[in-house]
Chain A
């Protein structure tokens, strides 16, 4: 079974608008972490935001916020005030357990295109 599901292969957004990228996850581990990464065409993985399973508040990092709905097992990324430079692949990932020695499992990604 898919541990991370990203149902939007591609998304378009107008510059300066907000966009939500969907992510649902599946785990029976009560301790887990959720990550979002941006991957431009160069291939590097750029960390955007992290949400821990026990975190009471939704994570925010500048223009990025994570809409964490634990009961629904969803961790949607919201990008506010989109910029042309936001055009890239976006991956949702999960690390089960709180150990840093556990690998991340990635979703299939969403390609975001920002239109001027």
Chain B
């Protein structure tokens, strides 16, 4: 299957600082990327959908100014958590799909565990 690489896998940051998470498709062109958030013992909740070269579409209740998503190329999307607070501590995971990928597939990164102290 296709490979999606997410970095970093773990990050600890101080409250008030910003953190950038990268999601790369290594062997295909990712026209669309999805960002999910998973709180402990809960399910994955979609935060936003980003299409290459256009603005991301955020789900209801997700602050676009706090969670900045950039999808400037067909192989890279970034999620920046701005002015992070302890309540932003969570597991963030990206998923990518490409123009020629079958709808039967969904490729996930390894996830990023963010801890804000």
A interface residues with partner B (beta carbon < 8 Å) = 33, 35, 42-45, 47, 50, 52, 91, 93, 95, 97-109
- Smallest Cβ-Cβ distance to A43: which chain B residue: B111
B interface residues with partner A (beta carbon < 8 Å) = 1, 31-32, 34, 38, 42-46, 49, 51, 91, 93, 95, 97-98, 101-106, 108, 110-111, 113
The total of Cβ contacts below 8 Å across the A-B interface reads 61
* Cβ–Cβ contact A107 & B43, under 8 A: yes
What's the minimum C-beta distance from A21 to chain B, rounded to whole angstroms? 14
A-B contact pairs, 5 of them (CB 8 A): A33-B104, A45-B108, A100-B102, A103-B49, A107-B43
What's the minimum C-beta distance from A7 to chain B, rounded to whole angstroms? 14
* Cβ–Cβ contact A99 & B103, under 8 A: yes
What is the bound-complex CA distance between A44 and B36, given in angstroms? 12
- Residues of chain B contacted by A109 (CB below 8 angstroms): 43
With A106-B44, A107-B43 given, is the CB distance from A43 to B106 under 8 Å?
Answer: no
